[in-house]
Structure 1
Amino acid sequence: MLKATMDYRRLGQAGLRVSALSYGTWVTFAEQGDFDRALQCLDIAGRAGVNLFDTADAYGNGEAERLLGLGFETLGWDRAAYVLATKLFVGTRDCVNMRQTLNRKYLLQGIEDSLQRLRTDFVDLLYCHRPDPHTPLEETVWAMSDIVARGKALYWGTSGWSPAQILEACAIAERHHLRKPTMEQSEYHLLARERIERDGAAIHRDHGIGLTTWSPLASGLLSGKYAGGIPAGSRAAQRGFAWLQPRLCDAADNRRVQRMQAVAQRFGASAAQLAIAWCTCHPAVASVTLGASSPAQLRENLAAIALAPLLDGDTLRELDALFPAGAAASLDTPTNTSTNAPTGAENTGTSTFSPSSFSLK
């Protein structure tokens, strides 16, 4: 049985250290809305050494933030002991200027609303959840810098932005002596590799941007549980997630997952643990966000941290051959839905990274 010991990594060039595995609140908090279950998951994550907790105003129209804040208060955790991240873009107020935007009015109001729901005076990390083509980027950079200057957030960053957009934001900040973006959050798993391995690795290497990732199991596909269809109680069986079902039941992908399970068994691990451990092996990745929907699933997934040091070059090359970069589309979420965050820009191109060159953690 794998015994987990958490690893902590710097967030890019920032001095802040975050746990290699973090806990996200999209499904457990926002969609299930079960506070007792959410509290259990928080406690399990904390005891395993997780110090980074991720949420967004988009998740359940603010419900995930509300439950997370209540959970921290109920557990009585020291605010200095954990890193809290939230994201703005979707909005929770049904009025002009307050939905799917990064304008200054929304950002300054949105952070106040998020802090109230989270029951805290500040967040450690504040992401622009998606780029906004309708707001001048300079306006967004000024507003985010002002939020940091006012102590409402310690660092700001982006989620689902292209390298060009991130570098333009950095240039604007440098030109006006403002706070630059510190981190980018992107989808990353064996079936969606380009955003991190091609784009993210370059901005991390050349500009010190910290990288956090989400969906290491491709919404559960890489766990192997969808090989026989949609099981009751799974994410794809929940209301509002029918859009995932065709992709999760793809026969070719599920055959590859079955072959991956054989690799995992050599280490006494599950396919899910292997998929998560693989994500942590990329040297540019600071933290991999887990979205477990039950305490048992979270315990299993957290044990992946002990598997990463065991993955040698031969194993990583085997997985690289099984899931070559660019071979499959991402499972990013649909746009303009009440239950899901909006999608980011498409990615195309070929990876410049090979898992055989990963540094093992």
Structure 2
Amino acid sequence: MEERRVGSSGLRVSRLGLGTMTWGRDTDEHESADQLRAFLDAGGTLVDTAAGYGDGDSERVLGSLLDGLVDRDDVVLATKAGIDRRSGQRVVDTSRRALLAALDASLDRLGTDHVDLWQVHTWSDGAPLKETLSALEDAVRSGRARYVGVSNYSGWQTARAATLLEGSPVGARLVSTQVEYSLLARGAEREVVPAAGALGLGVLPWSPLGRGVLSGKYRTGTPADSRAASPHFAGFVERYLDERSRRVVDAVVTAAEGLGASPVEIALAWVRDRPGVVAPVVGARTAAQLRGSLGAEDLVLPPQIRAALDEVSAPAR
């Protein structure tokens, strides 16, 4: 698998990342191990998790696999902090206290003394931005994080945070922004992607398959083993089961048939090669699904196919 630099930093990662949002919940440890093996065997390096995934279960499963399955140095380990669901409700806290406590807990669950990329999971007005960024600086200064980034920030929020950290005395500048980006979600192109490009941040798209909808699996209903059928993720998928999304999915399926590829490969190749993108982060329920995503590595979309997909998925202005 090819590697790319994360923005203007020296960090290099595979141009496809492995997402672990369902690990420890809808994906058990055995299936998670199969996914990690398949990803590493294909040359993948970037593995992304978060403290808030499954109340920490995703990190716990990943940590157990890193302990016995792979060499820690073979993985570019990324995690996030700032969202907590232990109370049963979604709680956002990006204060210095909460973030650094979350980082220590993440390192314990992951069984490592550092992560390669530590990201603030979302913006919050509940803490001053400078305080939030001071936690990133402390993580870099202490060696607990090699690089830092943000996630789910708007364009102006990304620009403000990156600008404030430009002169960090410990070199804790932002190197990445993780944001939803796919043929069904192109809002990041309005401000986030241009801001990232201007400030030297790499873009890490999450849900590059439109929350699974771009696979085409929902064209005739909701499969019993799909995310839309899961009590945890049904609402997560539902927003893309509308008429506009169906038109985009139909175009992806048509392109796949014409190129002898799968809809998953088409959708991933499209977002992977968008300006500013470093590595789409792909999650899968099974190793077989993940292997289907890994097939996109060898696919380059012809200009006419790319143009057609651009047109049918163009966001409202």
User: Fold match, TM over 0.5?
Assistant: yes
- 2:71 pairs, out of 64, 78, 97, with 78
- What secondary structure is seen at the aligned counterpart in 1 of 2:190? helix
The answer as to 2:164 corresponding to 1:172 is: yes
Whole-angstrom distance in 1 between the partners of 2:137 and 2:249? 43
Alpha-carbon shift at residue 320 of structure 1 (Å): 1.2
Whole-angstrom distance in 2 between the partners of 1:142 and 1:207? 19
Whole-angstrom distance in 2 between the partners of 1:244 and 1:100? 18
Query: Any residues of structure 2 matched to 1:51-62 within 5 Å, and which?
Result: 51-62=45-56
- Any idea what the Cα deviations from partners look like across 1:177-230, whole Å, max 9, x if unmatched? 3522211001010011121x2323322331101111111111111111101111
Query: Any residues of structure 2 matched to 1:127-276 within 5 Å, and which?
Result: 127-174=119-166, 177=169, 179-195=172-188, 197-244=189-236, 246-276=238-268
The answer as to 2:19 corresponding to 1:24 is: yes
- What secondary structure is seen at the aligned counterpart in 2 of 1:31? coil
Q: What is aligned with 1:319?
A: 309
* Number of equivalent positions: 315
Are residues 140 and 227 of structure 1, via their aligned partners in 2, closer, same or farther at CA, if it must alter by over 3 Å? same
- What secondary structure is seen at the aligned counterpart in 2 of 1:287? coil
Contact 1:226 1:254 in 2 (8 A): no
Are residues 281 and 176 of structure 1, via their aligned partners in 2, closer, same or farther at CA, if it must alter by over 3 Å? closer
- What secondary structure is seen at the aligned counterpart in 2 of 1:26? coil
Q: What is aligned with 1:35?
A: 29
Whole-angstrom distance in 2 between the partners of 1:138 and 1:102? 11
RMSD: 1.9
Q: What is aligned with 2:108?
A: 116
Are residues 175 and 286 of structure 1, via their aligned partners in 2, closer, same or farther at CA, if it must alter by over 3 Å? closer
Which region of structure 1 is more displaced relative to structure 2, 135-144 or 59-68? 135-144
- Any idea what the Cα deviations from partners look like across 1:209-265, whole Å, max 9, x if unmatched? 111111111111111110111111011111222324643432452244123212111
- Any idea what the Cα deviations from partners look like across 1:290-310, whole Å, max 9, x if unmatched? 1111111111111011112xx
Contact 1:131 1:161 in 2 (8 A): yes
Whole-angstrom distance in 1 between the partners of 2:163 and 2:244? 44
Alpha-carbon shift at residue 174 of structure 1 (Å): 3.9
Contact 1:128 1:158 in 2 (8 A): yes
- 2:83 pairs, out of 82, 90, 96, with 90
Contact 1:54 1:86 in 2 (8 A): yes
Whole-angstrom distance in 1 between the partners of 2:236 and 2:157? 29
Amino-acid identity (%)? 38
Q: What is aligned with 1:331?
A: none
- What secondary structure is seen at the aligned counterpart in 2 of 1:138? helix
- 2:58 pairs, out of 61, 64, 74, with 64
Are residues 215 and 116 of structure 1, via their aligned partners in 2, closer, same or farther at CA, if it must alter by over 3 Å? same
Q: What is aligned with 2:5?
A: 10
Question: Which letter maps to 2:309?
Answer: L
Are residues 321 and 141 of structure 1, via their aligned partners in 2, closer, same or farther at CA, if it must alter by over 3 Å? same
Alpha-carbon shift at residue 91 of structure 1 (Å): 3.0
Q: What is aligned with 1:292?
A: 284
Alpha-carbon shift at residue 117 of structure 1 (Å): 0.2
Are residues 167 and 204 of structure 1, via their aligned partners in 2, closer, same or farther at CA, if it must alter by over 3 Å? closer
Q: TM-score normalised to the size of structure 2?
A: 0.94
Segments of structure 2 that go 5 or more residues without pairing to the other structure are none
- 1:277 pairs, out of 252, 255, 269, with 269
Contact 2:27 2:286 in 1 (8 A): no
Are residues 174 and 60 of structure 1, via their aligned partners in 2, closer, same or farther at CA, if it must alter by over 3 Å? same
Contact 1:226 1:248 in 2 (8 A): no
Contact 1:61 1:92 in 2 (8 A): yes
Q: TM-score normalised to the size of structure 1?
A: 0.83
- Any idea what the Cα deviations from partners look like across 1:36-75, whole Å, max 9, x if unmatched? 0000000000001110000001100000000001111121
